[in-house]
Amino acid sequence: MLGFKTLVGKALYGLGCVVAAVVMLVSGVAYYGTRAVNSPGTSPNLSGGPSTGPMNILIIGLESRTYWDGTSVDHHIGVVTHIGTAADGNGGNAANTLILLHIFAGGRKAVGFSIPRDAYVPMVGTMGLGASPSKIDNAYGYAMAQ
Q: Are 146 and 140 in contact (CB under 8 A)?
A: no
| Domain contains 9 | yes
Residues 91 and 128 in one domain: yes
pLDDT of amino acid 18: 94
Residues 78 and 140 in one domain: yes
| Domain contains 46 | no
Domain count, the chain: 2
The range of the structural domain enclosing residue 5 comes to 1-39
CA-based nearest residue to 138, from 99, 100, 96: 96
* Average pLDDT across the chain, whole number: 77
Residues 73 and 18 in one domain: no
How far is it, in rounded angstroms, from Cα 36 to Cα 45?
18
pTM: 0.44
Amino acid at 95: A
Residues 23 and 61 in one domain: no
Query: For the chain, what percent of residues have pLDDT higher than 90?
Result: 18
Residues 114 and 84 in one domain: yes
Tens of pLDDT, residues 74-128: 778 777 776 654 454 445 555 578 899 998 887 788 899 998 878 888 887 777 6
